[in-house]
Amino acid sequence: MSATPPAGTVPYLDVEELFGAPVRAGASISPDGTRIAYLAPWRGRLNVWVESLDDPGDARCVTADETRSVHTYHWTDDPGLLLYEQDTGGDENWHVHRVDLEDPGAPAVDLTPFPGARVMGLELPSSRPGKALLHLNHRDPAQFDLCEVDIATRVLTVLAQNPGQVAGWLYTPDGELYAQTSTAEGDIELSRWSAEGPRRIAVFPGADHPLGVSPAQLTPDGSGVWIGSNRGTDRTRLARLDLATGEETEVDSHPELDLDTRSTVFPQLPSPLIRHRRTGGLLGVRYLGERQVIRPLDPHFAEVLHALEGLSDGDLGAVSCDESGRRWVASFTHDRDPGATYLYDHTTGRARLLFRPYPHLDPEVLAPMEPVTVPARDGLALPAYLTLPVGVEPAGLPMVLLVHGGPWSRDSWRFDPLAQLLANRGYAVLQVNFRGSTGYGKSFLAAGIGELAGRMHDDLVDAVDWAVARGYADRDRVAVFGGSYGGYAALLGASHTPGVFAAAVDFYGVSNLVTFLRSVPEFVKPQLANNWYLYAGDPADPEQEADLWARSPLSRVDAIRTPLLVVQGAGDARVVKAESDQLVEALRARSVDVEYLVKDDEGHGLVNPENAVDAYRAADRFLARHLGGRPGPARQGRGA
């Protein structure tokens, strides 16, 4: 690593260096320990590649998607068969495809070839070799049945047909069925499902679990479920729920931290439970505060964990092992050295670096992401992260407030390409976990109930005031930037507190809470009781509809004078394009400065690298114009 550059000499990072496709990423080891699979570019899209570990250099691309990058794949118990998931144009109608690694010329096979259907919750249980369990709405778009597909023969069997109120299924090794439903009061009920009718096993308060009980994974013998529980405590710990008695017993807990349940929102992130590949046994548990803490629950894994954590000063990310537990592939989360991936052999104790996804990025040129605490006006402590430009005096800087999505999510210590882009341009970057964010206890979560456009937004304004008072930020040069809920927050900044922000950037954000909640997919609506309806309101109730409208940026569109950039995916199934269209049309009718970029082949997020590069180049130019950071070179975008 080179020395930290002195002030004024920090190399300029092009947007493509940060948002282009990685050289390699997302590696995992095969069950027999002889190969790795990973994601790498092929014809401009990320696809799955496979390479020998003992004879590297024979890498070959085993998927062939030229339209949309592949991000999720799975080894099966047959080392010759691999599965991957893909949607169409960002519509989130995920299909499961099979690849035959022993027949390179054979095309991928769609195991769920039902137009408009969506797969959720794919599992490959060790107790059912050759089979995949999945939730599939091929019969009724609003209802997910529990299905099993034979990976080799493609035969799909419906194990349980959804009668209309089941939100999720569990299927034990001996064939017993359990279902998760919601009560009339909004609580979450787990019941044994049989021909005699459902028998209640346990009930969880819905308000304590806005995204459902997570994790919820069967123990290997099927006699219990490992769950994330906050029953009787503020923190979420790991417990075992006995499926015969309904008794809940603690398995593990941390005195200060919640389980790391970010994978509930972002399935590509590791599960909080680290499990043995062959047996399904519990090896370790992830917790998350300012940084990650892993508690090993297995003596062998404790030795492995000690060795792996010595490979990097980052946090252990995705980790996989062969069925013997000898060979391990591990990647690391790091603010300035993202995704470094190693092969470790526990028998020999040797390790070697397999790859760095972005080898062109010098960690010493990138900016550290530092945990800080921001006090809210009512005294609530708000965990946050501050990223300051390298080689620049951190005083009176232009600043960008980055707001996370969800809102039932959280910011965490990691490599954030957007934060790095902004810091490279000379901006201070502040990311605050406002009340209602997950991962800080259920009281912190519940503090967001009823506070959209209220105290949740006050927390963001208080964060700006904190940065100004500390001398980091120039009050007249602060922008707000976010995607999804963060986009809604950016629009609130422009409409509800227009004097605070000099510019706003909205990526696929909600402009009207009423139309947003009425346009979500039908299968989502039964799950809204404990999140959107509880925290914001139900548009079916006239009084709540009026309140939702008052909390919507569109209701105060006449107050918007802040320059605004809006980015939208045309195929977005969560925040539909009409949310952005109606806002932009209203602003243009008033001649307000608004830029609008639409990507026809994207959904709720920017998956294809050229779209991300275009969008963030537009944001780079926009912020330079309104905040005075050092701009990137003008380039021609690919879509509008």
Residues noted as catalytic: 484, 572, 604
- The residue whose two tokens read 């599965």 is 83
CA atoms of 190 and 198, how far apart (whole Å):
9
Q: Please, which residues bridge with residue 189 across strands?
A: 181, 203
Q: How do strand 397-403 and strand 473-483 relate by DSSP bridges?
A: parallel
Tell me how many helices (H) and strands (E) the chain has: 11, 36
CA atoms of 139 and 78, how far apart (whole Å):
29
Q: Where are the beta strands (DSSP E) in 366-419?
A: 369-375, 381-387, 397-403
Peptide bond into 407 cis (omega under 30): yes
586 Cβ neighbours under 8 A, 6+ residues apart: 554, 557
CA atoms of 145 and 167, how far apart (whole Å):
10
CA atoms of 594 and 506, how far apart (whole Å):
11
Burial class (CB in 10 A: 0-12, 13-18, 19+), 155: exposed
CA atoms of 144 and 259, how far apart (whole Å):
27
HSE-up of residue 194 (Cα within 13 Å, Cβ side): 8
Measured between its terminal Cα atoms, the distance across the chain in Å is 40
Tokens of 538: 């139900």
Classify 453 in phi/psi space as left (phi over 0), alpha (psi -120 to 50) or beta.
Answer: left
- Cβ–Cβ under 8 Å, residues 448 and 435: yes
Neighbours of 129 (CB within 10 A): 11
**Which backbone phi and psi does 81 adopt, to 5 degrees?**
-120, 135
CA atoms of 373 and 430, how far apart (whole Å):
11
Q: Which residue type does 437 have?
A: S
CA atoms of 240 and 281, how far apart (whole Å):
13
Q: How do strand 143-150 and strand 156-160 relate by DSSP bridges?
A: antiparallel
Q: How do strand 237-242 and strand 72-75 relate by DSSP bridges?
A: unpaired
CA atoms of 403 and 482, how far apart (whole Å):
5
Q: Where are the beta strands (DSSP E) in 113-247?
A: 119-123, 131-140, 143-150, 156-160, 166-171, 177-182, 188-193, 199-204, 216-218, 224-229, 237-242
How far is residue 23 CA from its own chain's centroid?
21
Q: Which residue type does 82 have?
A: L
CA atoms of 169 and 176, how far apart (whole Å):
11
- Cβ–Cβ under 8 Å, residues 545 and 539: yes
CA atoms of 126 and 146, how far apart (whole Å):
17
**Which backbone phi and psi does 445 adopt, to 5 degrees?**
-65, -50
Q: How do strand 282-288 and strand 292-296 relate by DSSP bridges?
A: antiparallel
